[in-house]
Amino acid sequence: MKNVSLKILEKHLTSGELIAGKEISIGIDQTLTQDSTGTMVYLQLEAMKIQRVKTQKSVAYIDHNTLQTGFENADDHKYIQTVASKHGIYFSKPGNGICHQVHLERFGKPGFTLLGSDSHTPTCGALGMLAIGAGGLDVAVAMAGGSYNLIMPEIINVKLNGKLKPWVTAKDIILELLRILTVKGGVGKIIEYSGSGVETLSIPERATITNMGAELGATTSVFPSDEITLTFLKKQKRENDWSELKADIGASYSKTIEINLDDLEPLAAKPHSPDNVDKVKNIGKIKVDQVAIGSCTNSSFTDMMKVAAILKNKTIAPSVSLVIAPGSKQVLTMLAKNGALADMISSGARILESACGPCIGMGQSPASDAVSLRTFNRNFEGRSGTKSAQVYLVSPETAAVSAITGCLTDPHEFGAEIKIEIPDEFEINDNLIISPAEDGLKVEVVRGENIKPFPLNKELSKNIEGKILIKLGDNITTDDIMPSNAKLLPFRSNVPYLSEFCLTPCDADFPKKAKENGGGFIIGGINYGQGSSREHAALVLLQLGVKGVIAKSFARIHSDNLVNSGIIPMVFENAGDYDKINLNNSIEIENIIEQIKNKNKILIKNKTKNLLFTALINLSERQKEIIIAGGLLNSVKNKK
């Protein structure tokens, strides 16, 4: 008796056994990239010297770096468009929408695999896809025809019972699961949804849930493909892409969590973590300065129509700045045609382009100490662009009602439930999706001056040593390691420049210290590297000469990115050893190659304190080879 996840994995397995904790390889049907990670992906793809991608469908989206305050973003977009055309990749132009929303609408298929250079790629799990976020180099390898390697996750079942009450939403379901499991509770797991409640949820609602599975640290999240999936694909005129995919009766899981939808109330994630969840009514009527509605989590046509219905014939509070970003050109066009866009504008809302925008710190930073309600997926400190801002994550309904009242408000207070009608057919116009050239050899790739070569590591030395450059606490994010604000995003193709800002939110002098000491080591706490899939958080460490990270535990994607860069991720065997290591201590690892080859833990000497301690290296044999070679690209070259 098999669950949905196992059925997809079995179909795509290329090596290994589907036993939790063992390394497996799976074939990849589709890939996606976005522009803040994409430039690096395509530089790496070019380094592999393949003429045409081997996947069934690969799409390059422009949705992150759409503010063009200088030449850098526009140059990168031109590079991505030309390199995509040359190598057989579809190109979604700026203005076409957020990658996850567009891919859900136009390309996702039940039962297929999708690998994306963005941590929220699991959004397409709403369609019954096995959609996984990964580092850019892993995506480049998949486009080149290689399998994707991962540790076989546990598959846990979230059983949804009952039906949501009026004003309670899919956002509240995933916030409740974050409250239960925390931001590290999904690490090493696939979350598969079942139960009678699933049948009550539309594809956009399911997508909100699978999208924020990334905040659990989960490998991916999956819903069955059923009649509701078929209905959605029919609206997109893609019914031929549908296939039924359900778990067998009696399918087994490693664990089951039950959530009774009837019991849920409107929730909010308080600053500064998506799992800091409480009921809206318990938080109280705090004054709100900004409301932002959109992002890949909550920018669907359904979400936008509900917001428009709430705002119709209303005016937002004088103290509130309301910004709304529909998730795709399709959504924006439909809102414009049916009058809902006018209702939003008339209320005082500012309409942003169909892009990620403020979710990734690209504009609309709140005022100092402001309270910002956002329908986004992350509220890490400073991610909004304003370190002192207090960001709350809420549903679109809570956000819209609060924009009118000027304070955080339980939407039940608004009155009767909002009812909206969804048309039988959606607006289909793919004129901003550019097909690749039939003959890629005739395409000239255009490279702007901002594009710099990415750093490559060297083969691992027999012995390694260095100072502890920084000691960090728990839940350090990739935003902490490599800040991603509007000033830095244009330089995603320039790793040397970005490295000057590495870990500066934690220590403003870190880049200087790293360079003065010729690199060294980092000490981290629990869930080190949570958040975005950006491999830049590993590449800047490589640029600065960091040899290894010793932490209590790692987030999956960042650990993989470290390995791909040839930086050793090590886990304290005894968590108490964390307390015995201080900043600037010198550590040494002798015979590191032999230790990695022959053991699952290594002996480390703290030369400053004359102490020995051990760290686990939770690496497969393949990953050990990569570390010894000095990174994945070196390993690939060695095998040619």
**500/105 Cα distance (integer angstroms):** 39
Longest distance between any two alpha carbons in the chain, whole Å: 72
What mean pLDDT comes out for the span 517-543? Answer: 94
- pLDDT of 596 reads 93
Give me the helices (H) in 486-620, please. 495-498, 510-516, 536-543, 556-564, 592-598
> Predicted confidence band at 640 (pLDDT cuts at 50, 70, 90)?
low
- pLDDT of 490 reads 85
- Tell me which of 450 and 147 has the higher pLDDT: 147
- Whose tokens are 């960091």? That residue is 546
> Predicted confidence band at 599 (pLDDT cuts at 50, 70, 90)?
confident
Residue 437 makes CB contacts below 8 A (sequence gap 6+) with 85, 86, 443
Q: From its phi and psi, is residue 584 left (phi > 0), alpha (psi between -120 and 50) or beta?
A: left
- Whose tokens are 């990734």? That residue is 360
Would 4-263 and 268-412 be classified into the same CATH topology? Answer: yes
| Cβ neighbour number for residue 93 with a 10 Å cutoff | 17
C-alpha distances (whole Å) from 619 to each of 82, 563, 592, 616 are 37, 9, 14, 9
For 331, half-sphere exposure in the C-beta direction (CA atoms, 13 angstrom radius) is 33
Q: Cβ(617)–Cβ(602) under 8 Å?
A: yes
3-class SS of residue 13 = strand
> Predicted confidence band at 168 (pLDDT cuts at 50, 70, 90)?
very high
Residue 320 makes CB contacts below 8 A (sequence gap 6+) with 288, 289, 290, 291, 402, 403, 406
Q: What pTM did the predictor assign?
A: 0.94
Q: Residue 139 forms beta bridges with which residues?
A: none
Q: What is the pLDDT of residues 346-385, one digit of tens each?
A: 999 999 999 998 998 888 999 999 999 999 999 999 898 8
Q: Residue 58 forms beta bridges with which residues?
A: 31
Radius of gyration over every alpha carbon of the chain, rounded to an integer in angstroms: 24
Domain ranges of the chain: 4-263, 268-412, 464-638
Q: What is the pLDDT of residues 21-80, one digit of tens each?
A: 999 999 999 999 999 899 999 999 998 999 999 999 999 999 998 888 888 899 999 999
- The fold of the 4-263 domain, in CATH, is Aconitase; domain 3 (3.30.499)
Q: Please say whether the dihedral angle defined by the alpha carbons of residues 89, 94, 96 and 97, taken in this order, is positive or negative.
A: positive
Q: Give me the CATH code for the 464-638 domain, please.
A: 3.20.19.10
**463/17 Cα distance (integer angstroms):** 34
Which string of DSSP letters, residue by residue, matches 36-80?
Answer: HHHHHHHHHHHHTT-SS--SSEEEEE--SS---SSHHHHHHHHHH
Q: Give me the CATH code for the 268-412 domain, please.
A: 3.30.499.10
Q: What is the pLDDT of residues 463-510, one digit of tens each?
A: 999 999 999 999 999 999 999 888 888 888 899 999 999 999 999 999
3-class SS of residue 612 = strand
Q: What is the pLDDT of residues 382-406, one digit of tens each?
A: 898 899 999 999 999 999 999 999 9
Residue 565 makes CB contacts below 8 A (sequence gap 6+) with 455, 457, 535, 538, 539, 541, 542, 631, 632
